Amino acid sequence: MFYYLRRIFLLVITVALVSVITFAVFQILPGDPVRTMLGTEADETQIENLRNELGLNRPLYQQYFDWIGGLFTGDLGNSIRFSMPVSDLLMERLPVTLSVASMALVIVVLVALPLGIFVARRQNKVSDVVLSSVTQLGMAIPSFWLGMILILYIGMNVDFFRINGYIPWSESIKGALSTLVLPALTIAIPQIAVKFRYVRTAILEQMELDYVRTIRSKGLPEKLIVYKHILKNALIPILTIFGLITAEVVAGTIIVEQVFALPGVGQLLITSISYRDFPLVQGIVMYITITVVLINFIVDMLYSVIDPRIRLR
Amino acid sequence: MLKRKYVLSFILIMVLLTISACSGGSESESGENGTSSESGDGTVATSGGSSNGAQEITVRINDDPDFLDPHHATASISFQMILNMFEGLFIPQTDGSLTEGLAESYEVSEDGLTYTFNIRQGVRFHNGEELTMDDVVYTFERLMGLNGGEKLSNNFDNVESIEAADDTTFVMTLKEPNSNFLYSLTALQSAIVPKSNDGKHNESPIGTGPFAFVNYAPGVNLELKKHEEYWEDGLPYLDKVTFAFQSDDQAAVMNLLADEVDLTGVPGHRVPEVEGTYNVTHQNNNSSLIITFNEEKEPFNDVKVRQAISYAINKQDVIDSVFFGYATPTGSNMSPAMGDYYLDGLQDVYKRDVEKAKELLTEAGYPDGFKTKITVSSHNDIYSSIAQIAVENLKEIGIDVEIEVVEWGIWLERVYFGRDYEMTAIDLTGRPSAYEVLNDYVSTNDAENFFLFKNEEFDQVMADVLRETDREKQIEYYHRAQEILNEQAAAVYIADYQILWGSKQNITGLKSYPFWFHDMKEVKFE
Amino acid sequence: MQKYKKNINLLLGAGILLLFFGMMVVSYFYTPYDVNSMDIPNKLQEPSKTHIFGTDEFGRDIFSRILKGSQTAFIVGLLTVAIGAFFGVLIGGIAGYAGGLLDEVFMRIMDALMAFPGIILALMLVAVFGPGIINTSIALGIIAIPSIARVTRSGFVQQKESEYVTAAKLIGVKPYKIMFKHILPNISSQIIVALSIAFAIAMLAEAALSYLGLGVQPPDPSWGRMLKDAQSFLISSPWYTYAPGGAITLLVLGLYLLSNAIRDIMDPRSK
């Protein structure tokens, strides 16, 4: 019980720290949200009016405490740039980002897991060498260049795909897929490259353990050994990896949304930073951090269920 | 035990899947509830109406409006859209002139101080209410801060009083005569809004324009529908207008090719892909692309240095590489888009001449050039492209320029408002009024004079023109003003770059204005 | 077979790195064309004998700019790694060696930094410092700190219980001497691996920042910036993206291969 409480406490601390870091960065960030928004045509009267109206003439720490106060009532405040609640903006953009991210994650799992097992079973064979070279290459490609290449060679040639914009699931499932698959692939490919190696290593490590030798000596078919015994014991390291991907996949969406012009949270984040829209940036950063931290937490919890010894550490 | 572990890993995947599924679901719900974000059209993906014969158009716009309330909006991108919803007492025309709008007729007193307007009758707002004198008075009181609120505009500081003489006659009295006054009575500066909508002008804007507000989804689109009771008979033709936001020019072309938008700006180098299947129209934008200087700082306070730089910059290279030839060379703030206000010939004064530039620089006392810095904004790549060309050109006459690229917000704060800079590159936004085109940014009486240009004759000309009521004589003043800007090399005047509109071939009725406005009033699909 | 493969990693990785290092050195003395001189009538020329990677939208020779861009790449990479290494090893070392509350506090801050996707922090930091080579490196260096700190910390935690450390403590060697003279050399292989990975990540992050319009600014040629510029011409001149994209990929690949090779050699357990 103490273990869980401690974990939850640390989780809250992490989120709070991130919020403070964002706030600290904004303290020293040059540029003014009102001027940025109104542009060259604004006169000083309009600028001053809007600053007052938005409460931007209050000291920043006060704005921050008000923001925290609002948080407890579930109010993320209003965006400066779009003069509407941050939560509404997030709700509008989240489906896009979550769709891409979860699709990427599913692709990674569906490809990396079998691939890792496959390669582990054929250790030292040509396929291993070939695959690990391909892997290294996959890791090294900058994701936005990969996106451009997918646009050029797949998006432009296969009618099914649209290379920019987003169609909501509610409108057309086929339409949604046509806009989401390429961005998801762009995120997934480098991740597959990294992660299948971890799967391979985890399984190889298990294969060398005594219990496998014992089972093997009993004459069980190799397939059964791998799927029934090794995989289950390799689950912890593999889980860790997939916990780690989440953060990278979420970060990956920021770049990929630019390449494919997807109206997601990442695009909103970049806009909000350039407009110095403090409430919006805080809202988005909080959402991203909480997602990442929460998934890591879930993964941690799963470990301790699988292997109770972990709780003691 | 074994099963449990499989189940767990399965749960993890399922949880992630459900997260996305749930959020997909909640979106469609919010659409049904009619909250701010409507789901169905939540993207640029909604196809233009031409295919099924409906009069519905999707127009791509680079960015969100800053405000929908026309009295709060200042960004030109906002007016590009919202001018379809609002009208003022006067309506700006494509050649920079004005025609009567919500004022049916007007008179100016001999001394140029009293303006009397007859308000047009039978005009209805989008909510069905009839336009009354109350609304006109309310509009100006709101702008001038007379009804308890804060002053929303400095444009009416010269107004002594406003008064409703009777139900149809509106009188404005000025403190000083101003021949440009009528230009502050368009929807750009004083859109007439209904008093009954007080406090809701931004959330649910209402005007008298040909199109009415339907929905605004930030970052996605702004939807308008036909104003059925519009006062001009038979107009508009379109039933629905969607302004879809897409900041990426390249993606916008893809949207056009994929039939997702009907009208968009096309970057010059992509014209060949679009030409033939789509109409491509060029529009002089009336914006003046310049490289300018802080003219209070040495060495830019010396006219010879400014002239030397003007001779050194290869304007044609800028036009060719940054705009792929689609730009009209200019010689002052004014562009040919302004009709007979524009003085032709000035664009050739500073033809590239490196020798002459070196001579001028030597005369100014900088035979070996000097070191300086050009600060440009990152919000559009054209500025850093121009800066790169300028650096190469100026190297030839010994001026060593460092490029500093900053974010738009920082550029505004430091260069535009703070005037803490040496050189910069920017485009001056087009305006309907010749006076504003010339006066804004450069006259010492203007708060926007970020070049800190100072010239007594120029200031005198701009003061005289305000007192001049005869149009021919006004034009003479304006021509002289352009000459002064050119002689003094107030900036390196490069070009009025054109916006290339790619549109479906069956779209007619598009008009181009000397300022940013996507006028949809007479647009239709044939 | 394994040994052979290990050598291939080492050979390929070192070879690629040497190639780019050579390019960088050469670019200080010679490029086929002046990197910034423009020839606008000859803009966007396809690769040919005169311009092997073609010309960009200002008619500049892309090959020359790729050569010059290797300078930017190495400066950003090395500076980032230097900043990350200095603070990462310091923080990780102190946290690992001291343990207790200090460890807890340092590591929670590192956790928070890690939960923050690096690119977001980089975006905000670049907004604070302003773009440019040095500022970008500082921002990326800060982001590199947590992962290096973690590796260092776990190394210190493992080593501090070992006999040689206990012995050194007994004879009264000062803590900072134990930390940096005795423990650090013993975990140098782990740190070197972490640093070469940090270098690779810095390359990718610089490219990403430049792609988003921040990061290295013109006229300094940066591969990421070139890719961003190339995207505008993706359809009409697709070849434009190949040279800068390929250069980034190849250098990052070299760094990954090298880090794998070092890990394999230094860590006998992984064979």
Task: Give pLDDT tens digits for B303-328.
Answer: 999 999 999 999 999 998 888 888 88
Interchain proximity C37–B269, CB inside 8 Å: no
Q: Is C247 on the interface with A (CB under 8 A)?
A: no
Instruction: Based on the fold, state whether residues A67 and A124 are members of the same structural domain.
Output: no
> CB–CB of A196/A111 below 8 Å?
yes
Q: Which of A97, A102, A173 to mutate to test the interface with B (most CBs of B within 10 A)?
A: A102
Q: Which of residues 70-109 of B touch A (CB under 8 A)?
A: 72, 74-76
| Distance in angstroms (rounded) separating the CA atoms of residues B380 and B411 | 12
- Residue A81 placed within a domain: no
Q: Which residue of B2, B6, B7, B12 is the best one to mutate when testing the A interface, meaning the one whose CB has the most A CBs within 10 A?
A: B12
Name chain A contacts of C121, Cβ cutoff 8 Å.
21
Q: For residues A60 and A189, state if they share a domain.
A: no
Subunits with 3+ Cβ pairs within 8 Å of C are A, B
Chain C positions touching B384 (Cβ under 8 A) are 217-218
pTM of the model: 0.82
Report the first-to-last Cα separation within chain C, whole angstroms.
Answer: 11
> Does residue A222 lie in a domain region?
no
Tell me which residue has tokens 């569906």: A110
Based on the fold, state whether residues A160 and A274 are members of the same structural domain: yes
Q: Considering only CB atoms, which chain C residues are within 8 Å of B391?
A: 36, 219
Final residue of a structural domain among A16, A47, A73: A73
B192 close to B86: Cβ distance less than 8 angstroms: yes
Closest CB to B27 among A95, A103, A228:
A95
Q: Which of residues 190-219 of A touch C (CB under 8 A)?
A: none
What pLDDT, on the 0 to 100 scale, is given for residue B311?
Answer: 93
Q: Are residues A175 and A277 in the same domain?
A: yes
A175 — contact with chain B (CB < 8 Å)? yes
Residue B521 distance to chain C (closest CA, Å)? 33
Q: Does residue A12 sit in the same domain as residue A44?
A: yes
Instruction: Return the CATH number at A299.
Output: 1.10.3720.10
Domain count along chain A: 2
If you classify domain C61-270 with CATH, what class do you get? mainly alpha
**Strand B159-164 relative to strand B169-174, pairing:** antiparallel
* pLDDT tens, residue order, chain C (271 aa): 455 555 677 888 889 999 999 999 998 988 888 888 888 888 888 888 888 888 888 889 999 999 998 998 999 999 999 999 999 999 988 888 888 888 888 887 887 777 777 777 788 888 788 778 888 898 889 888 988 998 888 888 888 888 888 888 888 888 888 888 878 888 888 888 889 889 988 888 888 888 887 777 777 788 988 988 888 888 888 899 999 999 999 999 998 888 888 877 776 554 4
- Whether residue A13 is found in the same domain as residue A105: no
CB distance from C105 to chain A under 8 Å?
no
Q: Is residue A260 part of a domain?
A: yes
Candidates C57, C213, C219; nearest CB to B403: C219
Kindly list the residues from chain C whose CB atom is less than 8 angstroms away from the CB atom of residue A264: none
Say whether pLDDT at A148 is over 60.
yes
Pairwise CB contact (< 8 Å): C108 & A13: yes
Residue type, A118: F
Q: Where are chain C's structural domains?
A: 61-270
Q: Give the residue on C whose Cα is nearest the Cα of B254.
A: C235
Which helix (H) or strand (E) is A28 found in, with range? helix A2-28
As a whole number of Å, the end-to-end CA separation of chain A is: 14
CB contact under 8 Å between B381 and C41, yes or no, is no
CB within 8 Å: B388 and C219: yes
Q: Do A94 and B150 touch (CB under 8 A)?
A: no
Say yes or no: A153 and A194 in one domain: yes
Of A157-171, A290-304, B264-278, highest mean pLDDT:
B264-278
Whether residues A157 and A281 share a domain: the answer is yes
The residues near A20 (Cβ < 8 Å, ≥ 6 apart) are none
CB contact under 8 Å between C234 and A151, yes or no, is yes
Do A161 and A97 reside in the same domain of the chain? yes
Distance from CA of C71 to the nearest CA of B (A): 19
Q: Which of C41, C219, C232 sits opposite B391 (nearest CB)?
A: C219
Name which of C80, C78, C64 is nearest C28 in CA terms: C64
A165 vs C148: CA distance, rounded Å: 38
Q: Are strands B98-100 and B90-92 parallel, antiparallel or unpaired?
A: antiparallel
Q: Looking at the complex, does the CB of residue C236 fall below 8 Å from at least one CB of chain A?
A: no
For residue A217, being part of any structural domain is answered with no
Cα separation values, A115 from A137, A201, A203, B371, Å: 16, 12, 12, 59
Instruction: Answer yes or no: do A130 and A275 share one domain.
Output: yes
A79 touches chain B (CB under 8 A): yes
Question: What domain range includes position A48?
Answer: 2-73
Domain match, A101 and A169 both: yes
| pLDDT recorded at residue C112 | 75
Return averaged pLDDT per consecutive 10 residues of chain B, 526 residues in all: 44 42 36 33 38 78 88 86 92 87 90 90 90 91 84 84 88 88 90 89 90 89 91 88 85 82 86 85 82 89 91 91 88 86 89 90 90 90 90 91 88 88 89 84 76 88 86 90 91 88 87 86 88
Q: In whole angstroms, how far apart are CA C90 and each of A132, C84, C151?
A: 34, 10, 12
Q: Of A73, A108, A132, which closes a domain?
A: A73
Judged by CB atoms closer than 8 Å, whether chains meet at A293 and C212 is answered as no
**Per-residue pLDDT tens for B323-342?**
888 888 999 888 888 888 88
